Amino acid sequence: MSTHVVVNPATEETVTEVDSASVEQTDAAIERAAEAFPAWRDMAPGERARLLRRFAAVVDEHIDELAELEVRNAGHTWSNATWEAGNVRDVLNYYSAAPERLTGHQIPVAGGINVTFHEPLGVVGIIVPWNFPMPIAGWGFGPALAAGNTVVLKPAELTPLTAIRLGELGLEAGLPDGVFTVIPGKGSVVGERFVTHPAVRKVCFTGSTEVGKRIMAGCAEQVKRVTLELGGKSANIVFADSDLAKAAAAAPMAVFDNAGQDCCARSRILVEQSAYDEFVSLLEPAVKGIKVLDPADKSSEMGPLISADQRTTVQGFVDEVDVAFTGSAPDGNGFWFPPTVVLAESVDQRIWREEIFGPVVAVMPFRDEAEAVQLANDSEFGLSGSIYTGDVGRALRVSRAVEAGNLSVNTHSSVRYWTPFGGFKQSGLGRELGPDAPHSFTDVKNVFISNE
């Protein structure tokens, strides 16, 4: 059996080794999930709801343990890691209400009655990335389980520890064997088998657009349902009539949170020309004030990148441009990279067009509202973004005009578990979260009953 060495990105020290599942082990887990499906599907809605609430309660009892694992495994700051563990709890609680509310329709027809049912799909395969291992796992398995599906989940090779622990906590909470299974392993083995195994009826993938396209093509062979949450190159649009001090103070963590390893990162800042110089002058001290420390230090605001390879990738982008200013980063061991600001010179620069997935932001001026929208939309991605303005009409116009799935005005907070999340264009397909998420794990069955 092969293993993967889990490394603490803040120290480069080995945390542990994790066994990687083979194709045969993956098949066995999928088959157990398929065997567990009928009983889970047919369980009384109130009982399935009770087990999900119990799962949430057990997660709540282990928030600090899960957070400590994520600090060591993913290099997340303590504040982020505790929020992430709490998000799993909250998502489970939210979707625990779904089994008893997954109602269909009674549709008027002649000669009888017509009703619809939301029928669960079966086994759902969830492939989780390394940047937010806990929340993104919960965003998949919470609504999938609530809708009556069984779940097999593959964590990222770099960050498997919290997912493994969540799988254990699910069993501790009383989930029947095979209902929720975590399978660590390589994407080319476990993830690929999710795509090709006929018992897996849907795949949820969060990761790169390149891999997402391959998964979508593979799922097409079996007309298998798929949800994709892919890359982003989101714009933070700052108009001159906004509170510039507030906008500049908020901009750094909109991109540098989680060391920029966030598909929603506002990594392009567009500033109205008349306010550009003032905004940049306000941005510099805000960037330099970010506390980039060992994430085990509870005052840390930004931790390291996930790996040496990721640091090399980010450095490659920065080497191509002139840097305006940077924040600080620790010396010594760890995959550290300082918060970095670049004043973009052209929309053709790679640093402006491609997802960096690191703590680097490019700033560019625009002339008017029309050009701001044009520049924001000049991207193959469309996941998130922000608009800072004091004009309510402008906020509405620009929000409707920007091609992105999740926007926020005068804040960077646009993701909540009770509202839909997903992207336009090559940022993805389908939606996660919100009240309708369980529906995406069901098929609609129509039944006509004749009264003749």
The token pair at 95 is 């979707």
Q: Is the pTM of this model over 0.85?
A: yes
Catalytic residue chosen out of the listed positions 263, 301, 355, 432: 263
Burial of residue 1 (CB within 10 Å: 0-12, 13-18, 19+) is: exposed
Q: Which of 204, 177, 174, 192 is nearest to 438 (CA)?
A: 204
**Greatest Cα-to-Cα distance within the chain, rounded to the nearest angstrom:** 81
CB-side neighbour CA atoms (13 Å) of 317: 24
Which value, in Å, is the radius of gyration of the alpha carbons in the chain? 23
Which amino acid does the sequence have at 353?
R
Q: Which residues contact residue 366 at a Cβ distance below 8 angstroms, ignoring those fewer than 6 apart?
A: 237, 270, 271, 272, 273, 372, 375
Closest by CA to 159, choosing from 189, 134, 178, is 134
Q: pLDDT value at position 107?
A: 98
CB 354 within 8 A of CB 317: yes
- At residue 49, φ and ψ (nearest 5 deg) are -60, -40
263 among known catalytic residues: yes
State residue 130 phi and psi, 5-degree precision.
-90, -10
Q: What is the DSSP string of 189-207?
A: IIIHHHHH-TTEEEEEEES
Q: Which residues of the chain have pLDDT under 70?
A: 1
- Residue 280 confidence (pLDDT): 98
| Distance of alpha carbon 271 from alpha carbon 277, whole angstroms | 9
The answer to whether the CB of 178 falls within 8 A of the CB of 35 is yes
pLDDT of residue 110: 97
Inter-residue contact 24 to 346 (CB < 8 Å): no
The string of pLDDT tens digits covering residues 216-249 is: 999 999 999 999 999 999 999 999 999 999 999 9
Q: Which of 70, 84, 192, 229 is catalytic?
A: 229
Known catalytic membership, residue 47: no
d(CA 93, CA 179) in angstroms, rounded, equals 18
CA nearest neighbour of 179 among 29, 46, 58: 29
Ramachandran area for residue 22 (φ above 0: left; ψ -120 to 50: alpha; else beta): beta
Both tokens of 88, joined, read: 């799993």
Strand partners, 19: 3
End-to-end CA distance of the chain: 63
CB 185 within 8 A of CB 193: no
Supply the pLDDT for residue 23: 98
Q: What is the DSSP letter of 20?
A: P
Q: Is the dihedral of CA 174, 175, 181, 182 positive or negative?
A: negative
Instruction: Compute the mean pLDDT over every residue in the chain, rounded to the nearest whole number.
Output: 98
The separation between CA 425 and the C-alpha centre of its own chain, rounded to angstroms, equals 17
Supply 333's token pair: 């061991």
pLDDT digits (tens, 9 = 90+) for 358-384: 999 999 999 999 999 999 999 999 999
d(CA 247, CA 388): 7
Q: Residue 452: what pLDDT?
A: 86
d(CA 264, CA 328): 23
Rounded CA separation 420/163 (Å): 23
Instruction: Say how far apart CA 276 and CA 343 lie, in whole Å.
Output: 11
If you search the block for the tokens 């964590």, which residue do you land on?
A: 155
